[in-house]
Amino acid sequence: MQAKIIDGKLVAAQLRSEIKNETAELAGRGIVPGLAVILVGDDPASRSYVAGKEKACRENGLYSRDYRLDENCSQSELLELIQKLNADTEIHGILVQLPLPEHIDSDRIIQAISPEKDVDGFHPVSLGNMMLGQEAFLPCTPHGIIQLLKSIDVSPQGKHCVIVGRSNIVGKPLANLLMQKSDLGNATVTVCHSRTPDIARHTREADIVIAAAGRPGMIGPDMIKEGAVVIDVGVNRVEDSSRKRGYRLVGDVDFEAVSSKASFITPVPGGVGPMTITMLLWNTLQSAKRSIPRT
């Protein structure tokens, strides 16, 4: 068996086409979805990620406003900026790029963002509504993974999904989404993590394996069953002197080896990554639509 590649770039492009069309329709009514992106400090990875978000906004008709703060800025300065953006009617989504410098309380910052503009889906109100199955902005990476499964007509319903990783950004919210009573849920979910003995015992029983642990190549062919669907969330830098940059990006899955056993698999890069920014655009669009007064 040779796994079929789940092309995240293609799926993202299809969704962005829908977003662009809807954004143009809204613009015709005088409403341009606006995203404010705040970057504190000058971390190269964060800077690159923020630039990607801004480019995606421009290409799809969204309004993007960029705030770059010095890494030594105070927490109160950042909170003041967020409060101004909460009250700004041109801004429908607020994103604070994580991680933040150690002297700033990330939880306090996330909670300061209005839930109506929490397009990252990290606010406790957003997460609480999601858990209850109520209307909420879904965290972008988990939502993107759900859309990738949908794109290959693989429903989680009745399947055993094993998630390796329990982060607040991916593992925990994804487990909840897959358990929801919905067309895109109804799965039986197992979450494995660093304290789980014999992770392979669980992954070998899974119909769908989602690797989000941040450990390069940790999922090998001996850890999945024949025909499983494998979603690789990991993005890890490993040294590679043959590359101009001196490194290459790999996932948490041994791609080549697992491809000979899985039915579907996402590549790294080009799998889950493009979906994360796409779902951020999707959330910003939804926020703009919700801002229209109901008659």
By annotation, the residues acting in catalysis are 53, 97, 120
Question: Is 47 assigned a ligand-binding role in the annotation?
Answer: no
165 is in an annotated binding site: yes
Structure tokens at 277: 């920014």
Distance CA(109)–CA(97), nearest Å, equals 11
Handedness of CA 98, 99, 103, 105 (dihedral sign): positive
268 is in an annotated binding site: no
CB-based burial, 185-222: b 16+ in 10 Å, e otherwise: bebebbbbeeeeeebeebbeebbbbbbbbbebbbbeee
Angle at 200 between CA 198 and CA 202, to 5 degrees: 90
> How deeply is 23 buried, as exposed, middle or buried, from its count of CB atoms within 10 A (0-12, 13-18, 19+)?
buried
Q: Quote the strand ranges of the chain, DSSP E.
A: 4-5, 34-40, 63-69, 93-96, 160-164, 188-192, 208-211, 229-232, 236-239, 247-250, 264-265
Label the pairing between strands 208-211 and 188-192.
unpaired
Residue 167 is assigned to a ligand binding site: yes
Measured torsion, CA atoms of residues 23, 141, 71, 59, in degrees rounded to the nearest 10: -30
Q: Which residues are annotated as a binding site for NADP(+)?
A: 165-167, 235
Q: Which residues are annotated as a binding site?
A: 165-167, 235
